[in-house]
Amino acid sequence: MAVRGFVSYWILPVISSLVWCGMLLGLLLYWVVDTNSEHYSYMDKGDNIAFISDIGASKLKPLFIAGSAVTTAFLDLSFAAERLLRHNGRLVPNTTGKEKIFAILSILFAIVGTCGLILLSIFDTHHHHRAHDVFLLLFIAGYIISAIFICAEYYVLGLYNRHHKVLRISFWVKIAFVIVEFVFAIVFVSTNWSNNENVAAVFEWIIAFIFTFYILSFVIDLLPAVRTKDHTMRFVKSLKHDMESSHSQDGNSSVQTGQYQNGHEEGVTRYNF
């Protein structure tokens, strides 16, 4: 019963990350061990390291498609769960229109990234090279832009809820992902266009594995919902969340922020997560 009570929406990104990482390892080990680092006919002559898409266009194409679809399905469910839990008071709720807009935009661009990943796995680099590259761009850009909007949402949300450390932790984890992936994406594109395919292939694998940790970062967001399953422990708005700056007589400025409480009774201690 204790295990059942602990299992919650946080399991969604865990499943997504395990499927994604498992698929990548499956593709990589197949190419290294089973094919002895085979040089596929559709690879350039000087290529010694296969791109993920090169292996995904081989016999393991069904694995590539299935893994991509399952990964993005559970990741998108994580996005939807986070939005629903905030709306229902299971997580610190959004209280300004700006936060909600950022949340919606993050979901929309995540869907763009989802479509890009699934389509690039279907339109493989061997038979649909140009279309594959377009969908690869959609995948990378979609999830990076989505992460930027999530960071924006958490930044604003954190301004009104400074006592909830989980918001700061999640913000910094995701902003680190955005910066690292953006830099690596630039290196990947530049080396690919300059015909340094081996370097580009290495960075593609690095970008893909880092994406695993981005998916896992949603565990940080969804885990607090375990403690708010009971209706009496959910977040209840006690004051309107608006930030108003007022100047005192001595010239110092003070900021009034709204607060959320867990529980419907006054005096209930808030969870500091």
pLDDT in tens, 85-95: 887 778 878 77
Is 106 a domain residue?
Answer: yes
* Alpha carbon separation from 236 to 97, 224, 253 (Å, rounded): 18, 15, 28
CA triple 60-64-66, angle to 5 deg: 115
> How many CB atoms neighbour CB 250 within 10 A?
5
Q: Tens digit of pLDDT for each residue in 189-236? A: 999 888 888 999 999 999 999 999 999 999 998 988 887 665 555 556
Whether 130 has a pLDDT exceeding 60, the answer reads: yes
User: What residues make up the domain containing 10?
Assistant: 2-231
Is 68 a domain residue?
Answer: yes
Three-class SS of residue 206?
A: helix
Is 269 a domain residue?
Answer: no
Q: How sure is the predictor about 247, in pLDDT bands with cuts at 50, 70 and 90?
A: very low
- Please tell me the predicted confidence (pLDDT) of residue 237: 56
Is 86 a domain residue?
Answer: yes
Question: How far is residue 164 CA from its own chain's centroid?
Answer: 20
DSSP state, 123? S
- Please tell me the predicted confidence (pLDDT) of residue 236: 62
In 3D space, the residue among 77, 75, 57 whose CA is nearest the CA of residue 21 turns out to be 75
**pTM score of the predicted model:** 0.80
Is 66 a domain residue?
Answer: yes
Q: Tens digit of pLDDT for each residue in 53-71? A: 999 999 999 999 999 999 9
In 3D space, the residue among 97, 78, 92, 71 whose CA is nearest the CA of residue 16 turns out to be 71
Is 197 a domain residue?
Answer: yes
Whether 176 has a pLDDT exceeding 50, the answer reads: yes
Residue 228 has which token pair? 């708010």
Is 244 a domain residue?
Answer: no
Q: How sure is the predictor about 52, in pLDDT bands with cuts at 50, 70 and 90?
A: very high
Separation between Cα atoms, residue 21 and residue 132, nearest integer Å:
21
Is 223 a domain residue?
Answer: yes
Separation between Cα atoms, residue 99 and residue 122, nearest integer Å:
35
Query: Could you give the number of structural domains in the chain?
Result: 1
